[in-house]
Every structure is written in C-alpha cells, then in structure tokens.
Amino acid sequence: MKWQIGDVTVTKIVELETTGGSRFILPQATPEVIRPISWLIPHFADENGRLKMSIHALLLEASGRRIIVDTCLGNDKKDRRIPTWNERQGRFLEDLAEAGFARETIDTVLCTHLHVDHVGWNTRLVQGRWEPTFPNARYLFGRVEYEHWRTQTERVDMLPVFADSIQPIFARGLADLVEWDHRICPEIELVPSTGHTPGHASVMINSKGARAMITGDFAHHPCQLAHPEWSSTADYDPVTAEATRRRILSALAGEPVLVIGTHFAGPTAGHVLRDGQTYKLQV
C-alpha cells in the first residue's frame, strides 16, 4: 500500500494485523459501543464490533532519502508481555526487500517513541548477538523520550526492549538524539504529541502543498476519533494524552491533511472530519 504526498512516497509494510483481542489496550472500546459507530465498519472493526488493528512500518522516500518510521516487533525477541510478541519468526525483512527496501538501503530509522512495537526491528539476532538491522542508517530517537526511559529502571517490562532493541544501536554509534521538532529533510519534520509517552512525536509531511501526518500512538485506533476521551492502557499520562488528541484532531478536522495511522488497519489513512461533538476518519 502506497500514498503519494507531493514528491514524498509513503509505503506501508505490515508485520501483523489482528481482529479482536484489543481489550488490553482500549478497554472502553467494547463491541456494544463500537457496533453503532457505523463508519468504523468494515475497515476498522468487524460487524461484531471487534477492533481491527495493525502493526506496520511506514517507508518514506523523499529528497533521495529512505526513511523507516517505527520498526514494529522484530523476530526472536524475548520477555515480551504479550505472548505472541515473543520469539516471532515473521517475514517482515523479506517483505521489506520485496517491496524494494533492502535493509542496507535505508538511511534513516525514526522511532516515534520507544515502546516495544515501535523499535523491534531496530535490531536482529545474528549468531546470538543483537546487531543493527539497518547498518547504513542513522537511528533517530527523541531526546526527551530516550532520557525518560533510560531512567525508568523499575519498568522491568521495558528493560528487555531497551537492552535488545535500543542499547545495541548506541553501542554501534548509530544513534542520534533529536529534539521533537527535528526536521529530517525539507519535506519531513517531527511534531510533539506527548501523553502516550513523555517524548512522543508524530511526523508531518509537507511537499508541493500536499500534507500528511503519521500519528504514532497519540491515537491507537480510529475509534478514538469518535471518543477522544478514551485513553489506551499504554498511555503514560492519560490526561495529557486526551488533551493532545483533542488538540490535534481539532486542528486536523476538515483540513486537507492525509492522516496515516501507525496502528490503523486496512486502508490505514484518511481525513479527519467533524462528526457532531467529536470526529470521524473518512477513508
């Protein structure tokens, strides 16, 4: 799946799509509440009101650059809280290469934040060691985000992620800490969208008058456009997360900005429209 935003091409490479089983992340999104939100069906929920979600990477081609935004779960990882996220043997790298993105050709890796499903393919297991998957890339991490997690030693569920997917990048000298309004190239810059994590950033694309936004996890699922007050269980600061959702959705509503969801399934992208007191995504 590809989108063209001016001179920028965005390609989606899916690692995992699921239907149902999302209660752990959005407990308020019960089938009874989801079913009446008709615009969610069939793309973002099934007829039974079960949410569809996706874990995918977005590949950006702009100004001769090849940028991967968020690197999913990865293979061979251990000590993950979600059972099916352990010891994966998926085809992600093969799919990436078949789509024209051999891992050696990527020049920039950008993680919107440092959660387990956004950093996994930063590294791959080679003869028992975690090696950078993208050896010719600079890996960009938000300075605020990195400093937060570096000091969260009590988050035992986070530590394996840091050890196997982030520290090896620093050890190889491939990491750059960036501010959260960092501009990667003329068409692509970060914008702060804090709340889900303390240093969370989204990505704005602006080329020849066309605009798009990659959400990261300020919204996990389009149902949060209908219910901006629904914070995910993974939100670090639910009050700030809701305020961020409302601020961004209000700014996007009715604007010609293609919103590309980091966990939105199926068509993944659309435009934000006002819908009564809240919003909907028009695909």
Give the footprint of Zn ion on this chain (CB under 5 A): 117, 217
- Smallest gap from Cβ 24 to Zn ion, in A, equals 12
- Smallest gap from Cβ 283 to Zn ion, in A, equals 20
- Smallest gap from Cβ 22 to Zn ion, in A, equals 12
Cβ atoms of 199 and 110 closer than 8 Å: no
How far the first Cα of the chain sits from its last, in Å, is 14
Beta carbon nearer to Zn ion, 123 or 207: 123
Beta carbon nearer to Zn ion, 17 or 104: 17
Beta carbon nearer to Zn ion, 116 or 257: 116
CA distance 61 to 160: 31
Cβ atoms of 140 and 111 closer than 8 Å: yes
- Smallest gap from Cβ 242 to Zn ion, in A, equals 17
Sign of torsion, CA 227 233 239 240? negative
Going through the chain in order, the beta strands assigned E by DSSP cover 2-5, 8-19, 52-62, 65-69, 108-110, 123-126, 129-132, 138-142, 175-178, 183-185, 188-192, 201-207, 210-214, 257-260, 269-275, 278-282
Beta carbon nearer to Zn ion, 217 or 242: 217
Amino acid symbol at 21? G
Beta carbon nearer to Zn ion, 27 or 256: 27
Sign of torsion, CA 138 142 144 147? negative
Cβ atoms of 221 and 22 closer than 8 Å: yes
CA angle centred on 268, ends 221 and 141, rounded to 5°: 75
- Smallest gap from Cβ 230 to Zn ion, in A, equals 15
Beta carbon nearer to Zn ion, 106 or 161: 161
- Smallest gap from Cβ 71 to Zn ion, in A, equals 11
